[in-house]
Amino acid sequence: MDKPLAAPVALSVSAPKKFQPRQDWKRALVYLVLILGAFVAVLPFFWMISASLMTLGETINRQWIPKIPQWENYITAWEEAKFAKYFLNSVVITLVSLAGLLFTSILAGYAFARIKFRGRDLIFAILLATMMIPESVTMIPNFLMVRGSIIPLPGPAAWKGSWLNQLPALTVPFMANAFSIFLLRQFFIKIPDELWDAARLDGAGHLRFLVQIVLPLSKAPIMTVLTFGFIGAWNAFLWPLLVTTKDTWRPLMVGLWTFVNEAGPETQLLMAGAVITVIPMLIIYFLTQKQFTEGIATTGLKG
Amino acid sequence: MTASQPKPPFRLRWIDIKEQLTGYLFVSPAVLIISLFGLFPIGYAFYMSVFNWNVRKGDFNGLDNYEKAIGDWTGLGIFIAGFLLMGVAYWVWQNALKSASNRVLLVGAFTAFLLLAAGWVISDGWARMLLTGDDRYLESLPLTVFYALGTVPAELALALLLAYALFQNIRGKEFFRMLYFLPYITPAVASAVVFRTIFSPRETSLVNQFIGLFGIEAQKWLFEPKPLVNLMFGTELEGFFAGPSMAMVSIILFGVWTYVGYNTVIFLAGLGSIPPELYEAAEIDGANAWQSFRHITLPLLSPVTFYLALIAFIGTFKAFNHIYVMRVPSAQGTVNVASVEIFDTFYKSNQYGYAAAQAILLFFIIMALTVVQNKIFGEKVFYG
């Protein structure tokens, strides 16, 4: 039972080769390539952190390391750019979007994998086709939609049928996507039928089977969906820029962008701001990175 | 759940209906949201694109918006005909290779002639379109092509190199993989903050210090609208053949930095799925490292490469964030790729209907590219 459920790609398997002394220089070359790559990948992060602790003078003269770390840059940036508010906004937006995303994609992924209903494959194909559509096309009608210009949208009377500057505008469009459904469906489809037969004999319906048997087996793909969802929601920029004209629900990315345009030459503050926006992303990534990278590798591949 | 049985006679049984209803119920939340924010907008964008629609809906104006962008329908026709001619050239050449006739030289000359003719037709059509069309929009298209051609091949080559190196028996593989992936998950706005200082025109900026090591004088990078080729060789080229501006090249480097890690991870998985016996057999037959890379790794990896190239190519045509946040006024629009231009039309000039038409044209281009890429490279993919 374990076997078909385990991630099938051998990420940790290497080409079995015997170590030969005369291949030393080859290995040295391999490490050189890898270290060079890592250096280029990490250098901007190093620079971001280092510059965020400098004085203005130091950033202009491009020192590599600040003489005395200026921790108060973070406090200044945090206060000047109203990051406290934006940060909280982003957290709420991300959590709400993720909850919705999990709910819709687990149910849909399960149905597309394990329930037979008329038009199933057609609906699935149409959903997948939406992945190809550029945001430029959907952005304009969606903006009108969220503004309530096409149909009045549900909400408190004070919103007057519009979601502009309101939480749903920033969350609802992110609550479902074809990619997450596809990813989960690919996993659910591999769950052996015997489990379902046994569950049905015990009188379980689809919902109970899904909650009690399927979900506990599916931690890895769910983590992948969550992490991708997190990246999407936390890093979202274009859409929030359009639908937040006031700072009521303005997320961190738009806040940082506004700050970039306002703070001008105060590089050290910008860098501190950038670090603040990146840290939550990094924490989530370090916590989930193993399942996440393997999730991408396996699902990104076997279409 | 009884998929393997032969078709049962159609009967309405409560349990079947219940199964069907459960299915619809389960997919309905996702289908509702995706229909509302993913499907409906496509139809509505078409609808908007045939109206004179600035903030508020105006009069129906047929294809005026499209004409405003394209300029000249005949020009467009000629332009497309040029590409079709190119397709014919490709087809002729493929057939010649298949039949392995001894007239390869002749066919080669014929193909070359066809290609030249196609190039001439394309540039003629393009010139006609530029004459009356929207320069800003039309010029954003070759800029998009520059961005795509600048990022995708470099990205894939570097990713393959890194993945191949990672795949050798090395220590700290997972550590390296994690580091390579960092740029991909970093928000574009935050990494742009860093890259804008790295590529700043100051003499002390990181890239200027770096090229200074090779004795090259400081450059303006993101602030430089002149084509890179002209700056490097002192030429005075103009138009498409001058290539991307230095500002665009800076953004391309930013794009490559962002996406290499993602491709590396997928390449690495692809390498892992190649059976090690093949390498052992090759080694016994006396193949060296390059030969087994060339004749085992590359062909067996081609489905992955194809998949990544397709995703990356479509991605670059849709790319917005990474370019928008790196854009400075001094670059004088030489970095305005199609999606950025559409955004400006919509957000800055408030021409909603026209922006919708521009977006739909971009959508058609992406679809055409996908089909072509499938046709040309899809055939070369080796599925084992």
Q: What tens digit of pLDDT does each residue of B45-104 get?
A: 999 999 999 988 889 998 999 999 998 899 999 999 999 999 888 888 887 777 766 677
Average pLDDT over residues B224-252: 83
Question: How far is A194 from chain B, CA to nearest CA, in Å?
Answer: 11
* Cβ-defined contact of A135 to B318 (cutoff 8 Å): yes
Mean pLDDT of A9-37: 69
Looking at beta carbons, which residues of chain A come within 8 Å of B42? Answer: 133, 137-138
Least confident of A2-11, A160-169, B163-172, B240-249: A2-11
A275-297 residue pLDDT tens? 999 998 888 888 887 777 777 77
Tell me which of A35-44, A47-56, B36-45 is least confident: A47-56
Q: Is B190 on the interface with A (CB under 8 A)?
A: yes
Name residues whose C-beta falls within 8 Å of residue A50's C-beta, 6 or more positions apart in sequence. Answer: A64, A65, A66
Instruction: Name residues whose C-beta falls within 8 Å of residue B19's C-beta, 6 or more positions apart in sequence.
Output: A115, A116, A117
Pick the range with the lowest mean pLDDT from A67-76, A283-292, B125-134. Answer: A283-292
Q: Among all residues of chain B, which has the CA nearest to that of A110?
A: B26
> Collapsing DSSP states into helix, strand and coil, what is residue A64?
coil
**Average model confidence (pLDDT) for chain B?**
87
Chain B neighbors of A235, CB-CB under 8 A: 185, 187-189
- Whether the pLDDT of residue A133 is over 90: the answer is no
Task: Give yes or no for residue B3 having a pLDDT over 80.
Answer: no
Task: Tell me the mean pLDDT in the region A209-219.
Answer: 91
* ipTM at complex level: 0.85
How many A/B residue pairs have CB atoms within 8 Å?
306
Q: What is the pLDDT of residue A10?
A: 41
Give the model's pLDDT for residue B71. Answer: 86
Output the pLDDT for position A43.
92
Q: Do B182 and A19 touch (CB under 8 A)?
A: no
Greatest pairwise CA separation for chain A in angstroms:
78
Asked if B276 and A15 come within 8 Å (Cβ–Cβ), the reply is: yes
**Minimal Cα–Cα distance from B17 to chain A, Å?**
9
Domains of chain A (ranges, CATH numbers): 77-301 (1.10.3720.10)
Which residues in A17-53 are b (16+ Cβ under 10 Å) and which e? eeeeeeeeeeeeebbebbeebbebbeebbebbbbbbb
- Closest-CA distance of chain A to residue B116, Å: 33
CB-based contact A296 B266, cutoff 8 Å: yes
What digits encode the pLDDT tens for the residues A227-258? 889 988 999 999 999 999 888 999 999 999 99
pLDDT of A267 over the 80 cut: yes
**What pLDDT shows up at residue A3?**
35
Tell me the average pLDDT across A94-100: 96
For residue A168, the one-letter residue type is: P
**Interchain CB contact of B292 with A (< 8 Å):** no
Question: B298 to chain A, minimum CA–CA distance in Å?
Answer: 15
- What pLDDT, on the 0 to 100 scale, is given for residue A154? 86
Query: Are the Cβ atoms of A126 and B272 closer than 8 angstroms?
Result: no
Residues of A in contact with B349 (CB under 8 A): none
Are A48 and A278 in contact by the 8 Å Cβ rule? The answer is: yes
Q: Which of B170, B267, B261 is nearest to A30 (CA)?
A: B170
pLDDT tier at A153, thresholds 50, 70, 90:
confident
pLDDT for residue A13:
45
User: Model pTM?
Assistant: 0.87
Q: What is the pLDDT of residue B154?
A: 95
Nearest CA-CA distance, residue A247 and chain B, Å: 18
B 134-173 residues inside an 8 A Cβ radius of A = 158, 161-162, 165-170, 173
- Integer Cα distance of B165 and A31 in angstroms: 8
Pick the residue with more confidence: B80 or B288?
B80
Coil vs helix vs strand at A19: coil
As a three-state string, the secondary structure of chain B is: CCCCCCCCCCCCCHHHHHHHHHHHHHHHHHHHHHHHHHHHHHHHHHHHHCEEEECEEEEECCCHHHHHHHCCHHHHHHHHHHHHHHHHHHHHHHHHHHHCCCCHHHHHHHHHHHHHHHHHHHHHHHHHHHHHCCHHHHHHHHHHHHHHHHHHHHHHHHHHHHHHHHHCCCCCHHHHHHHHHHHHHCCHHHHHHHHHHHCCCCCCCHHHHHHHCCCCCCCCHHHCCCEHHHHHHCCCCCHHHHCCEHHHHHHHHHHHHHHHHHHHHHHHHHHHCCCHHHHHHHHHCCCCHHHHHHHHHHHHHHHHHHHHHHHHHHHHHHCCHHHHCCCCHHHCCCCCCHHHHHHHHHHHCCEHHHHHHHHHHHHHHHHHHHHHHHHHHHCCCCCC
Torsion angle, alpha carbons of A173, B368, B137, B73, to 10: -130
DSSP class of A158: G
**Preferred mutation among B19, B47, B57, B182 to probe A, highest tally of A CBs within 10 A:** B182
Give residue B255's pLDDT band: very low, low, confident or very high (50, 70, 90): very high
Residue B333 reports pLDDT greater than 90: no
Query: What is the distance between the alpha carbons of residues A203 and A82, in angstroms, rounded to a whole number?
Result: 55
DSSP 8-state symbol, A174: G
**Interval B178-223: pLDDT, tens:** 899 899 999 999 999 899 888 888 887 888 888 888 888 888 888 8
* Chain B CB contacts of A256 below 8 Å: 187, 189-190, 193
How far apart CA B324 and CA B320 sit, in angstroms, is 6
In this prediction, residue A66 has a pLDDT band, given cuts at 50, 70 and 90, of confident
Residues of A in contact with B198 (CB under 8 A): 44, 47
**What count of other Cβ atoms lies within 10 Å of the Cβ of residue A196?**
17
Please tell me which of the candidates A51, A116, A278 has its beta carbon nearest to residue B186. Answer: A278
Question: Distance between alpha carbon B199 and the CA centroid of its chain, in Å?
Answer: 24
Confidence of residue A301 (pLDDT cuts 50, 70, 90): very low
May I ask the CATH class of domain B67-71+133-378? mainly alpha
What are the Cα distances from residue B116, in Å, to A30, B31, B130, B373, B376?
Answer: 43, 49, 21, 21, 20
**Nearest residue in B to A284, CA atom:** B185
Residue B8 has pLDDT above 60, yes or no: no
User: Which pLDDT score, from 0 to 100, does residue A21 have?
Assistant: 55
Whether residue B41 and residue A138 make contact (CB cut-off 8 A), yes or no, is: yes
The span from the first CA to the last CA of chain B, in angstroms, equals: 32
CB atoms within 10 A of CB B5: 6
- Provide the chain B residues 74-133 that lie in CB contact (below 8 A) with chain A: none
Task: Return all residues near A142 (Cβ < 8 A) that are at least 6 apart.
Answer: A173, A239, B37, B41
Per-residue DSSP letter, A213: I
Query: Which residues in chain A are closer than 8 Å to B181, comparing Cβ atoms?
Result: 285, 289, 293
Q: Considering only residues 251 to 270 of chain B, which have any Cβ-Cβ distance to chain A shorter than 8 Å? A: 257, 260-262, 265-266, 268-270
Region of residue B375 (left: phi > 0; alpha: psi -120 to 50; beta: else): alpha
Mean pLDDT score across all residues of chain A? 85
The count of other CB atoms within 10 Å of the CB of residue A273 is 31
Report d(CA B298, CA B68) in Å as an integer: 46
Q: Which residue has the higher pLDDT, A25 or A244?
A: A244
- Rounded to a whole number of angstroms, the distance from the CA of A61 to the nearest CA of chain B is 7
Is B314 in the A-facing interface, judged by CB distances under 8 Å? yes
Closest CA to B338 of B133, B137, B146: B137
